[in-house]
């Protein structure tokens, strides 16, 4: 990344620093390749010449709004520029045509008002300060003038500001492509109001973000010949199901549960709800309230947004009935039954919740009980009913809650899509992708693998795009571009998605009744023994490391098999399919004879792979624009810019 420069005694330079990442200083002496630097915080550093970077002493005090205008385009220079700008509340900076957005963690209202939108309308790119509106404007102009589909890819880690950025983009596009003076349920209003609805059911407070989207999202906004919004489609990816049943302090479950518990009394009484603290699915965490979120108000706001996106009163009623039922299901506990490995409903309290859940779901109470504590095993000769011990009954209960909730979420997305409607005549669209960034935690599971797989795909897409652009430029300038090396991550993608790759081996393990996470891990170790992108950590028997483009991530195989299995327990399916509530029954439509009989295996991993393939096809047919969101600190507070944190993100990000 460094630009070769003449470093001599007296030069102002940057050197590495363990806490600040980079610190500036002055070269006091040079011996062979060793440079002695007196840093501005009073330290003396001796380091290799290759690790010393020149500092631009003529850089404007407020930084530059496009990094390509920096005299030295190296890491400390980029970082310094972003930090300087951030201090002045200049949160946006370009790197060529890519927009970097540093989360301000405070409302900068003047940045997004109508006056600002008007300014960016039709302005030449680069003429005004960097802004999300400028990116949306370019996408819109390209679509109108050149008849091309465009997409805007918003990336960054959790809490970096992707969803907020996406909302600004959509507001700007609605401003450009909306009808003035029309109130109510216009297409653009519906597109905008779909956000609060999706957030109520798909967002939660996490350690990293008080309003974290627990799903990926691609919104396609369609336009008619005159450039007006004429339809939209929302595709969502991989909702985090485990959150419904399991949370830890200081996180919360999905917002809608708390909104509903804080609803007006006539609503809570109808659903026999009590304080949020009385529900197991919520009280596993001590965090019930979130600063800045008023659950009671949000309940009403969600209902209003649902009105606008076309979810009618009756459907809203059914949706919240199902949400309440999930809470009641979580309070059903089991005790050991008389026979070995059997269980019974624990006590009156559990029975109350069992009855209430069955009332709300309008299904037979005895059948619900049976579905929780027994399992039918179909053999060629007969059907055997097996009882479940309390531990398995709890697992069955949680599986039911997760299935109901994820079906509900899918229903809501589908309903919004039908209600907004697609414009069959539209030839032009702008897609906005808001999807989880690269993740590497202490413990990484199946979800992280899917997320990082997505990021590998997006990185490849980015590489190909940049490569194509460079190729065009070099051809224009008549440089022989065939010598330019193309950074390629195809080998990681092969490891994950190819025939015989990670996803395929996981599916295979899920189909084998006797597989365990140990046998799965062993299989990976032998298959990928010589794969450069795969490492077996020493001493581990079930962990495996993937060498991703953004760094090594070690995954724990423990829950991979369970998390990949995509089947609904037959008893649960039958129970809810038979509900007298048409809404609930529609969440569990009868399976076609064929698929229920055939043992065709479906897995979350393979389904996700197909979804990603289709997303990549869509993206490839569009002209892409990139916005890279950066989270300046983990305290979620304004005016704090932590160098090491930001560098990490720049390194994992779309740096090419």
Ligand X SMILES: Nc1ncnc2c1ncn2[C@@H]1O[C@H](COP(=O)(O)OP(=O)(O)OP(=O)(O)O)[C@@H](O)[C@H]1O
CA-based nearest residue to 57, from 86, 33, 29, 27:
27
State both tokens at 405.
Answer: 């909730």
Of 166, 213, 392, 489, the active-site residue reads 213
Rg (the chain; Cα; Å): 27
Least CB distance to ligand X at residue 159 (A): 5
- Region of residue 645 (phi > 0: left; psi between -120 and 50: alpha; otherwise: beta): alpha
Of 188, 439, 497, 571, the active-site residue reads 439
Class of residue 269 by CB neighbours under 10 A (exposed 0-12, middle 13-18, buried 19+): exposed
Least CB distance to ligand X at residue 219 (A): 13
CA-based nearest residue to 447, from 654, 629, 253, 239:
239
Contact letters for ligand X, residues 239-278 (x by CB under 6 A): ----------------------------------------
Residues 474-533 that bind ligand X (CB under 6 A): none
- Tell me the backbone φ, ψ of residue 289, rounded to 5 degrees: -105, 150
| Residue 335 assigned ligand-binding role | no
Residues 319-348 that bind ligand X (CB under 6 A): none
Return the residue of 17, 24, 90, 164 that touches ligand X, per CB under 6 A.
164
The rounded distance, in Å, linking the Cα atoms of 323 and 252 is: 15
Return the residue of 64, 135, 136, 160 that touches ligand X, per CB under 6 A.
160
| Residue 157 assigned ligand-binding role | yes
Q: Which is nearer to ligand X, 169 or 322 (CB)?
A: 169
Q: Which is nearer to ligand X, 166 or 403 (CB)?
A: 166
Return the residue of 54, 156, 178, 196 that touches ligand X, per CB under 6 A.
156
Contact segment (CB under 6 A) with ligand X among 34-42, 153-161, 542-550, 589-597 equals: 153-161
Q: Which is nearer to ligand X, 71 or 158 (CB)?
A: 158
Of 177, 231, 431, 437, the active-site residue reads 437
Contacts with 529 (C-beta within 8 Å, 6 or more apart), sequence order: none
Q: Which is nearer to ligand X, 97 or 210 (CB)?
A: 210
The rounded distance, in Å, linking the Cα atoms of 244 and 405 is: 7
Q: Which is nearer to ligand X, 101 or 371 (CB)?
A: 101
Contact yes or no for 152/139 (Cβ under 8 A): yes
Q: Which is nearer to ligand X, 160 or 200 (CB)?
A: 160
| Residue 526 assigned ligand-binding role | no
Contact yes or no for 396/568 (Cβ under 8 A): no
Q: Which is nearer to ligand X, 581 or 636 (CB)?
A: 636
Contacts with 167 (C-beta within 8 Å, 6 or more apart), sequence order: 192, 195
Least CB distance to ligand X at residue 213 (A): 3
Residue 155 a catalytic site member: no
Return the residue of 74, 162, 217, 243 that touches ligand X, per CB under 6 A.
162
Contact letters for ligand X, residues 620-639 (x by CB under 6 A): ---------x----------
Q: Which is nearer to ligand X, 99 or 404 (CB)?
A: 99
Least CB distance to ligand X at residue 71 (A): 29
Contact segment (CB under 6 A) with ligand X among 161-169, 348-356, 443-451, 588-596 equals: 161-169
Residues 171-210 that bind ligand X (CB under 6 A): 208-210
Least CB distance to ligand X at residue 616 (A): 20
| Residue 406 assigned ligand-binding role | no
Of 103, 149, 212, 358, the active-site residue reads 212
Residues 436-465 that bind ligand X (CB under 6 A): 436
Q: Which is nearer to ligand X, 161 or 431 (CB)?
A: 161
Return the residue of 84, 103, 463, 648 that touches ligand X, per CB under 6 A.
103
Contacts with 275 (C-beta within 8 Å, 6 or more apart), sequence order: 261
Contact segment (CB under 6 A) with ligand X among 98-106, 399-407, 572-580, 612-620 equals: 98-106
Residue 158 a catalytic site member: yes
Helices (H), 178-293: 187-202, 255-261, 265-270, 280-283
Element spanning 472, H or E = helix 446-476
Strand 53-54 to 44-48 pairing: unpaired
Least CB distance to ligand X at residue 225 (A): 33
Return the residue of 2, 26, 105, 288 that touches ligand X, per CB under 6 A.
105
| Residue 156 assigned ligand-binding role | yes
Contact segment (CB under 6 A) with ligand X among 105-113, 296-304, 352-360, 386-394 equals: 105-113
Residues 561-620 that bind ligand X (CB under 6 A): none
Contact yes or no for 332/354 (Cβ under 8 A): yes
Q: Which is nearer to ligand X, 55 or 214 (CB)?
A: 214
Q: Which is nearer to ligand X, 106 or 602 (CB)?
A: 106
| Residue 158 assigned ligand-binding role | yes
Residues 208-237 that bind ligand X (CB under 6 A): 208-213
The rounded distance, in Å, linking the Cα atoms of 107 and 133 is: 16
Of 71, 158, 283, 374, the active-site residue reads 158
Residue 621 a catalytic site member: no
Of 11, 163, 342, 396, the active-site residue reads 163
- Which residue in this structure is represented by tokens 């028997």? 541
Rounding to the nearest 10 degrees, give the CA dihedral for residues 562, 217, 206, 637: 160
Biggest CA-to-CA distance, the chain? 89
Of 25, 63, 77, 159, the active-site residue reads 159
CA-based nearest residue to 240, from 194, 268, 209, 280:
209
Can you spell out the DSSP letters for 399-467?
A: HHHHHHHHHHHHHHHHHHHHHH---TT--EEEEEEE-------SSB-HHHHHHHHHHHHHHHHHHHHHH
- Which residue in this structure is represented by tokens 């959790």? 158
CA-based nearest residue to 219, from 412, 432, 426, 415:
432
What residue ranges in 479-550 does DSSP mark as E strands? 534-535, 543-548
Of 103, 209, 342, 406, the active-site residue reads 209
Work out the end-to-end distance of the chain between its first and last CA atoms, rounded to an integer number of angstroms: 11
Under the binding rule (CB under 6 A), the answer on residue 159 touching ligand X is: yes
Residue 159 a catalytic site member: yes
Residue 598 a catalytic site member: no
- Which residue in this structure is represented by tokens 């380091």? 47
Residue 213 a catalytic site member: yes
Contact segment (CB under 6 A) with ligand X among 54-62, 101-109, 115-123, 272-280 equals: 101-109
Contacts with 375 (C-beta within 8 Å, 6 or more apart), sequence order: 385, 386, 388, 392, 396, 569, 571
Residues 407-436 that bind ligand X (CB under 6 A): 436
Contact segment (CB under 6 A) with ligand X among 159-167, 406-414, 464-472, 646-654 equals: 159-167
Contacts with 426 (C-beta within 8 Å, 6 or more apart), sequence order: 222, 223, 224, 230, 231
Annotated binding site for ATP: 156-163
Contact residues toward ligand X (CB under 6 A) are 103-105, 107-108, 156, 158-164, 208-213, 436, 629
Annotated binding site: 156-163
Residues annotated as part of the active site = 158-159, 163, 209, 212-213, 437, 439
């Amino acid at each position: 990344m460094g630009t070769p420069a003449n470093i001599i005694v007296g030069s102002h330079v940057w050197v590495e620093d363990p806490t600040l990442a980079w610190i500036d200083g002055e070269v006091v002496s040079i011996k062979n390749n060793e440079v002695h630097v007196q840093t501005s915080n009073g330290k003396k550093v001796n380091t290799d010449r290759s690790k010393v970077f020149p500092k631009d002493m003529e850089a404007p005090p407020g930084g530059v709004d496009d990094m390509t205008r920096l005299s030295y385009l190296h890491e400390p220079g980029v970082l310094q520029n972003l930090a300087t700008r951030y201090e002045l509340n200049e949160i946006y900076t370009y790197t060529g045509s890519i927009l970097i957005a540093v989360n301000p963690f405070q409302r900068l209202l003047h940045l997004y008002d109508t006056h600002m939108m008007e300014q960016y309308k039709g302005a030449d790119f680069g003429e005004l300060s960097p802004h999300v509106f400028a990116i949306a404007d370019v996408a819109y102009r390209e679509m109108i003038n050149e008849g091309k589909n465009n997409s805007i890819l918003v990336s960054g880690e959790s809490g970096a500001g992707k969803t907020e950025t996406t909302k600004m983009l959509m507001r700007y596009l609605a401003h450009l492509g909306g009808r003035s003076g029309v109130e109510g349920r216009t297409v653009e209003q519906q597109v905008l109001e779909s956000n609060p609805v999706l957030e109520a059911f798909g967002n939660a407070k996490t350690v990293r973000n008080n309003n974290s989207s627990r799903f990926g999202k691609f919104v396609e906004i369609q336009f008619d010949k005159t450039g007006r919004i004429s339809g939209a489609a929302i595709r969502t990816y991989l909702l985090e199901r485990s959150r419904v049943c399991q949370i830890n302090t200081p996180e919360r479950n999905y917002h809608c549960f708390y909104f509903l518990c804080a609803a007006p009394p006539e609503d809570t009484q109808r659903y026999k709800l009590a304080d949020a603290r009385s529900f197991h699915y919520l009280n596993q965490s001590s965090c019930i309230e979130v600063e800045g979120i008023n659950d009671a108000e949000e309940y009403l706001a969600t209902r209003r947004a649902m009105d606008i996106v076309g979810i009618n009163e009756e459907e809203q009623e059914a949706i919240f009935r199902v949400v309440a039922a999930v809470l009641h299901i979580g309070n059903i506990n089991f005790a050991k039954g008389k026979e070995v490995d059997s269980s019974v409903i624990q006590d009156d309290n559990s029975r109350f919740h069992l009855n209430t859940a069955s009332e709300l779901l309008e299904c037979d109470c005895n059948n619900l009980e049976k579905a929780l504590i027994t399992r039918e095993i179909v053999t060629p000769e007969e059907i055997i009913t097996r009882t479940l011990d309390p531990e398995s009954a709890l697992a069955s209960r949680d599986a039911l809650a997760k299935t109901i909730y994820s079906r509900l979420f899918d229903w809501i997305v589908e309903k919004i899509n039908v209600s907004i409607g697609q414009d069959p005549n539209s030839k032009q669209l702008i897609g906005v992708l808001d999807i989880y960034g690269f993740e590497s935690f202490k413990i990484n599971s199946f979800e992280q693998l899917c997320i990082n797989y997505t990021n590998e795909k997006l990185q490849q897409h980015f590489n190909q795009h940049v490569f194509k652009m460079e190729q065009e430029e070099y051809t224009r300038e008549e440089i022989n571009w065939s010598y330019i090396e193309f950074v390629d991550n195809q080998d990681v993608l092969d490891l994950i998605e190819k025939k015989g790759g990670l996803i395929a081996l996981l599916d295979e393990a899920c189909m084998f009744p006797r597989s365990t996470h140990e046998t799965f891990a062993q299989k990976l170790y032998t298959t990928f023994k010589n794969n450069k992108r795969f490492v077996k950590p020493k001493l581990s028997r079930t962990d495996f490391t993937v060498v991703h483009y953004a760094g090594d991530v070690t995954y724990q195989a423990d829950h991979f098999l369970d998390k990949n299995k995509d089947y609904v327990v037959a008893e649960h399916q039958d129970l809810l399919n038979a509900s007298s509530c048409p809404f609930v029954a529609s969440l569990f439509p009868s399976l076609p004879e064929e698929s229920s009989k055939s043992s065709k295996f479906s897995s979350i991993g393979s389904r996700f792979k197909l979804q990603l393939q289709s997303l990549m096809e869509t993206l490839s047919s569009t002209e892409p624009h990139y916005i890279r969101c950066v989270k300046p600190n983990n305290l979620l507070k304004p005016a704090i810019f932590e160098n090491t944190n930001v560098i990490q993100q720049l390194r994992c990000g779309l740096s090419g």
